[in-house]
Amino acid sequence: MHRTRVRIVEDVLDANDTIARANREDFERAGVTVVNLMSAPGAGKTTLLERVLPTLEGVRVGVLEGDVQGSLDADRLARLHVPVTQLNTANGFGGECHLDANMVRSAIPALPLDELDLLIVENVGNLVCPAEFRIGEDARVMVSSVAEGDDKPLKYPLMFRACELVIVNKVDLLAHVDFDMERFASNLDAVHPGVRHVPVSARTGEGLDGVRRWLKAVGSGRREEAPVR
């Protein structure tokens, strides 16, 4: 019984990787770099995008917004006058807790790829499953809020291992929460040695220049030299 279950999961992930490669080819053909942005619920992905997207001079950016239900975040981002496409996992996908390659594939016809250099996919808020499903992205980035605690890399190692950049958000709360940045960095290094992290506050703007520089470099096809500090 249990053995069967694991087998199904592996088959699902296998099929997902096949579709993710097809997505990747479509994005490459269109010259669009894709960033898969992940976090726990309420870590501040949308607020971060509200702050940085209007200031990516020279990079044409769009957003694919993944949510279980509703369009609250897409509505917020649409005010920025960037193209936003909503993908709800509750409609026809059984209320999934993550985006998978097939969901993203179903959204591709609705994306204005010809008008974009950079597509940010805002994943469903969840620190477990999104890390298991490639969607055809070039880079995976996560947002971890200091309000969640500095132990999170140890508790959700797959997510922190999957990302090439960890944005540590809400540093304006550091004086009010039990979060030690050095302990976080050490926990992060234990599960993903060498990965970069950048402390920011999407609310006050602190540290966002690093995120902007990184996104601009990635969106211009210069990912290798993308700096964050």
- Residues near its own copies (CB under 8 A): 2, 5-6, 8-9, 40-42, 67-70, 72-73, 92, 94-97, 124-129, 132, 145, 147-149, 151-152, 154-158, 170, 172-173, 176-178, 203
- Closer by beta carbon to its own copies, 51 or else 170: 170
Residue 179 vs 214, nearer CB to its own copies? 179
To its own copies, the closest distance from the beta carbon of 72 in angstroms equals 6
Identify the helix (H) or strand (E) that includes residue 185: helix 181-191
Q: Dig out the tokens for 174 from the structure.
A: 């550091």
β-bridge partners, 198: 167
Q: Which is nearer to its own copies, 43 or 217 (CB)?
A: 43
Output 221-225 pairs: Cβ under 8 A, ≥24 positions apart.
221/33, 223/33, 223/138, 223/139
For its own copies, the closer CB: 131 or 195: 131
- How far is CA 153 from its chain centroid? 16
CB of 14 to its own copies, least distance (A): 14
| 3-state helix, strand and coil shares in percent for the chain, rounded to the nearest 5 | 45, 15, 35
Q: How far is the CB of 191 from its own copies (least distance, A)?
A: 9
Closer residue to its own copies, CB minimum distance, 58 or 109: 109
- Nearest-10 Cα torsion for 224, 50, 205, 139: -20
CB of 118 to its own copies, least distance (A): 25
Q: Measuring CA to CA, which residue among 3, 72, 38, 229 is closest to residue 152?
A: 38
Q: Which residues have a Cβ under 8 Å from the Cβ of 103 and sit 6 or more positions away?
A: 66, 87, 89, 93, 96, 135
Whichever of 71 and 220 has its CB closer to its own copies, that residue is 71
Cβ 131 to its own copies, closest distance in Å?
Answer: 9
Using the minimum distance from each CB to its own copies, give the nearer residue, 94 or 193.
94
- CA angle, corner 46, sides to 25 and 183, nearest 5? 95
**For tokens 């520089």, what's the residue?**
213
DSSP per residue over 38-80, as a string?
Answer: EESTTSSHHHHHHHHGGG-TT--EEEEEEESS--HHHHHHHTT
Least Cβ distance, residue 31 to its own copies (angstroms)? 30
Minimum distance, C-beta of residue 12 to its own copies, in the bound complex (Å): 8
